């Protein structure tokens, strides 16, 4: 990729002429992008949800394959787009919504064995009755066709129609009269989206109960087979006396790490940053932190963590935000937060002297994080729009990025765009995506951009 005419932090002129690329489809008024992956074929894969107007029963998931210039790759299904539903039915009075949360590219022993895995959920409702929401995974070949050997015709779901007694995550709505809806394993709404991580040829999928009191985990393999011996009837429940809400997830040989927040006062909405560690069966590892949970006090701030990745063999880096202001008052702001810790729950003394990094003057929070050999790059989103920062492994701003500022505000995008995902490619170029009301013809449209990294 030729980027010699742009400095680090500027839009890559070879991608869409150096401008953010708007992603939308004729006939669909709503587009929500969430999920991105890079294949060894050099393509950028982006996943999302598209809806006709306000009729969410017509929503579909989609995967787009883009080349280095931002052009849809014609060799991927139909004109670069594969689309479908997690659950199909022609039953009268039934509506089904498909939502998307993440995309994973898995390399096989040869390119023909590579696969794209799409994580989402579908919501089933009949005759205005209670809604049942279940996680789902779809698998595609790299030509954009479904991998029919995965799950059932390319899709693995965790429940059938209402009344099916298959153990599953159940509805965030009040329990109904059916067997499935009366179970107490619920998926969260979009404010606490499901997450996943791949390890050892398996996916571990994390969600929450509807009351946010319990963390729920399930496990499937790359063939779409549910591990029914995981937890109880395929669902592992993680509970803490205080309310723990995870947002990020990472797995290594030590176990499953979840990062998020723990409420200290739910009435005043007070919370602190927390990391939990589980073993590979989803059981809390009591040897980590305090009985499996490590809370981090960020001054007098109220903080939460949204992303966690390795910084080195000994340390992790986490990203999120701290909240300033009187929690019971009408005014407070969110400040981006970086925090590095070790695998025992202690802080990393080599990262900003063991202290968190708070970015004043950039109201909002970090949403996603990527680490390469020389730096760490973070994607932020707030009331004033999106921003991207790059830091050295020591926690200092990278002065080679964004004309020495180390922080790049994405003023080319409307302030209401929600930035969701970030990845850094081998040439250090930075790819980001999000969605918002960026088009007068659409209720919402997707956006993807590429910044040069060097």
In degrees, rounded to 5, the angle at the alpha carbon of residue 184 between the alpha carbons of residues 183 and 190 is: 115
Higher pLDDT, 280 or 56: 280
What's the rounded Cα separation, in Å, for the pair 293 and 370?
Answer: 24
Q: What is the pLDDT of residues 394-413, one digit of tens each?
A: 999 999 999 999 999 999 99
Reported confidence tier of residue 231, pLDDT bands at 50, 70, 90: confident
Residue 245 near residue 260 (C-beta atoms within 8 A): yes
| Residue 39 vs residues 65, 164, 368, 426, 451: alpha-carbon distances, Å | 10, 38, 19, 12, 18
Percent of the chain past pLDDT 70, that is, above it, reads 88
Tokens representing 46 are: 């982006």
Average confidence (pLDDT) over 204-230: 85
What's the rounded Cα separation, in Å, for the pair 254 and 219?
Answer: 17
Reported confidence tier of residue 184, pLDDT bands at 50, 70, 90: very low
What's the rounded Cα separation, in Å, for the pair 47 and 100?
Answer: 7
State the pLDDT at residue 328.
Answer: 59
- Whether 227 shows a pLDDT value over 60: the answer reads yes
- Whether 321 shows a pLDDT value over 70: the answer reads yes
What's the rounded Cα separation, in Å, for the pair 120 and 104?
Answer: 12
CB atoms within 10 A of CB 187: 26
Q: The whole model's pTM is what? A: 0.89
Reported confidence tier of residue 329, pLDDT bands at 50, 70, 90: low
Tokens representing 247 are: 């947002």
- DSSP 8-state code for residue 20: P
State the pLDDT at residue 128.
Answer: 76
Residues in the chain: 454
Burial class, 276, CB count within 10 angstroms (exposed 0-12 / middle 13-18 / buried 19+): buried
Exposure class string for 7-19: b at 16+ Cβ within 10 A, else e: ebbebbbbbbebe
- Boundaries of every domain in the chain: 29-239, 240-454
Exposure class string for 283-308: b at 16+ Cβ within 10 A, else e: ebbeebbeebbbbbebeebbbbbbbb
CB atoms within 10 A of CB 176: 18
Give Cβ neighbours of residue 10 (< 8 Å, ≥ 6 apart): 18, 451, 452
Residue 321 near residue 366 (C-beta atoms within 8 A): yes
Helix, strand or coil for residue 352?
helix
Average confidence (pLDDT) over 243-249: 90
Higher pLDDT, 35 or 171: 35
- Whether 419 shows a pLDDT value over 60: the answer reads yes
Please state which of the ranges 29-38, 162-171, 217-226, 307-316 shows the lowest mean pLDDT: 162-171
Q: What is the pLDDT of residues 145-178, one digit of tens each?
A: 999 999 999 999 876 433 333 333 443 333 332 3
Higher pLDDT, 240 or 189: 240
Helix, strand or coil for residue 219?
strand
Average confidence (pLDDT) over 301-318: 94
State the pLDDT at residue 324.
Answer: 80
What's the rounded Cα separation, in Å, for the pair 335 and 347?
Answer: 20
State the pLDDT at residue 176.
Answer: 33
Please state which of the ranges 249-263, 266-280, 308-322 shows the lowest mean pLDDT: 266-280
Higher pLDDT, 18 or 454: 18
State the pLDDT at residue 135.
Answer: 85
Match 């039934």 to its residue by tokens.
94
State the pLDDT at residue 97.
Answer: 84
Q: What is the pLDDT of residues 273-285, one digit of tens each?
A: 999 999 999 999 9
Mean pLDDT of the chain: 85
State the pLDDT at residue 107.
Answer: 94
What's the rounded Cα separation, in Å, for the pair 317 and 363?
Answer: 20
What's the rounded Cα separation, in Å, for the pair 265 and 223?
Answer: 43
Average confidence (pLDDT) over 345-365: 91
Reported confidence tier of residue 63, pLDDT bands at 50, 70, 90: very high
Average confidence (pLDDT) over 235-239: 87
Q: What is the pLDDT of residues 423-435, one digit of tens each?
A: 999 999 999 999 9
- Whether 209 shows a pLDDT value over 80: the answer reads no
Residue 207 near residue 189 (C-beta atoms within 8 A): no
Q: What is the pLDDT of residues 361-391, one digit of tens each?
A: 887 899 999 999 999 999 999 888 899 999 9
| Residue 378 vs residues 72, 292, 303, 416: alpha-carbon distances, Å | 26, 27, 17, 19
């Amino acid at each position: 990729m030729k980027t010699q005419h742009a400095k680090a932090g500027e839009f890559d002129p070879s991608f869409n002429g150096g401008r953010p690329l708007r992603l939308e489809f004729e006939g669909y008024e709503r587009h929500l992008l969430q999920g991105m992956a890079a294949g060894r074929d050099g393509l950028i894969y982006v996943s999302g949800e598209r809806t006709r107007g306000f009729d969410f029963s017509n929503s579909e998931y989609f995967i787009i394959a883009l080349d280095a210039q931002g052009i849809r790759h014609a060799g991927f299904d139909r004109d670069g787009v594969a689309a479908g539903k997690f659950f199909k039915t022609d039953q009268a009075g039934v509506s089904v919504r498909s939502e998307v949360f993440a995309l994973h590219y898995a390399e096989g022993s040869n390119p023909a064995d590579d696969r794209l895995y799409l994580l989402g959920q579908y919501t089933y409702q009949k005759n205005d009755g209670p809604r049942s929401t279940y996680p789902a995974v779809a698998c595609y070949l790299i030509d954009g066709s479904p991998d029919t050997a995965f799950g059932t015709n390319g899709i693995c779901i965790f429940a059938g129609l209402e009344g099916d007694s298959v153990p599953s995550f159940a509805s965030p709505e009040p329990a109904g009269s059916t067997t499935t809806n009366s179970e107490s394993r619920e998926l969260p709404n979009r404010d606490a989206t499901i997450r996943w991580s791949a390890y050892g040829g398996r996916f571990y999928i994390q969600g929450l109960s509807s009351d946010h009191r319990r963390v729920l985990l399930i496990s499937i393999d790359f063939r779409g087979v549910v591990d029914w011996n995981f937890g109880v009837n395929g669902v592992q429940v993680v509970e803490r006396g205080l309310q723990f809400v995870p947002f990020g997830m990472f797995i290594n040989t030590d176990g499953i790490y979840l990062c998020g927040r723990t409420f200290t006062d739910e009435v005043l909405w007070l919370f602190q940053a927390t990391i939990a560690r589980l073993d590979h069966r989803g059981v809390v590892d009591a040897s980590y932190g305090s009985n499996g949970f490590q809370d981090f006090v960020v001054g007098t701030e109220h903080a939460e963590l949204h992303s966690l990745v390795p910084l080195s063999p000994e340390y992790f880096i986490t990203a999120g935000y701290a909240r300033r202001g009187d929690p019971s008052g009408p005014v407070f702001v969110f400040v981006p937060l970086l925090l590095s810790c070790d695998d025992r729950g202690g802080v990393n003394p080599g990262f900003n002297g063991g202290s968190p990094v708070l970015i004043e003057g950039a109201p909002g929070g970090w949403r996603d994080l990527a680490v390469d050999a020389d730096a760490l790059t973070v994607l932020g989103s707030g009331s004033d729009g999106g921003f991207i920062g790059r830091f050295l492994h020591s926690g200092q701003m990278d002065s080679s990025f964004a004309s020495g500022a180390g922080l790049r505000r994405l003023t080319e995008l409307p302030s209401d765009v929600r930035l969701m995902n970030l990845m850094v490619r081998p040439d250090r170029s930075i790819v980001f995506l999000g969605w918002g009301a960026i088009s007068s013809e659409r209720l919402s449209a997707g956006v993807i951009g590429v910044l040069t990294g060097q």
